[in-house]
Structure 1
Amino acid sequence: MTSKTKSLVYCGLFTALIAVGAFIKIPIPVVPFTLQYLFTMMAGLLLGPRLGALAVTFYMVLGLIGLPIFAEGGGIWYIFKPSFGYIIGFIAGTFVTGYIAQQMKKKSVINYLLANLAGLFFVYAIGMIYYYIICNFVINTPIAVWPLFLYCFILAVPGDLALSILGALMVKRVKPILGIEAIAMKSRA
């Protein structure tokens, strides 16, 4: 299989995994806990910044054109859901995670975890800012900063921290088996 074909297959695979991850969820107030973050982070770690972010972008576009692959459906109207900012954050977080992982000299679980946490910062920063703007200025359901911080960070982040650890452990084991290192390196060019 050629490198471009392999890249396209892996990109499509992660797009599908992210969609499946949206349906594996634990309901918590405001923003549901899903496995999307696990697969977006792994896309960055395994495919690199560009291909990983591309897989997440494909996921977002497919949901916006109407496929019900987001945690609560799909369609262009989804941009008015306060939680849509997290999907945008997944793109940035995946790119950051992949970029940091690609630059590291030692491919250790700790370094993968640090890359995951850096990406997670962007997911939450973009997601919470978007949530605040949509609620307060677009759909007229005001939310103050403390409830936003409580529901969209404090209640949600423990699960994502656990997924960050799990993802770092999984990637350390899976990367050599799949031979993905070559794909991530070629996607740099």
Structure 2
Amino acid sequence: MGVQAPRPKDRRQTGRATDDSSGRPVPRPESALDAVDLHLLELLQTEGRITLSELGRRVNLSPAAVGERVRRLEADGTVTGYAAQVAPARLGYGIQAFVRVSPHARVTVKYLRSQELVHRPEILEVHHVIGEDCWVFKIAARDTTHLEELIELISALGRTTTSVILSSPVTRNVLLPPPPP
């Protein structure tokens, strides 16, 4: 979810290392993130619209130096994008739910009929998981009738189990590297 961070056109601009086979950025080891990088990641996750000037003030660097660090974090894949968080209820979606799917034989989310489903705006997230079920959908519905319609569409993939979300006391925490063991 969210908008992908723009990738530089020329890898020489960022000095990033790439994987020889795919051309994708090679992630830096956690140890390559210094205290300033970690502080920047925390600020970007909590205040996504913060200016480079304000970021620089908070980490004691010039806006140009902060801009270079942020570009490097984007280029190496640490920062994957920026997005506005919206309230589904304000857009007319009064119900959110998790729908777990145990698919029919050989049916996956890559199945052609599934692709139409996952591109619907009501499908907020899709996760491939290990466990009793194979897929978990997070959906938003206008009302119970709409919820029933969405569950019926998803059930074409397999057996479903639905959990309606009553509240979400934790919606997004700041993610930083785990502490060393």
Q: Under a length normalisation based on structure 2, what TM-score does the superposition of the two structures give?
A: 0.23
Q: Which has the larger radius of gyration?
A: 2
Specify which structure has the higher proportion of strand: 2
TM-score using structure 1 length: 0.23
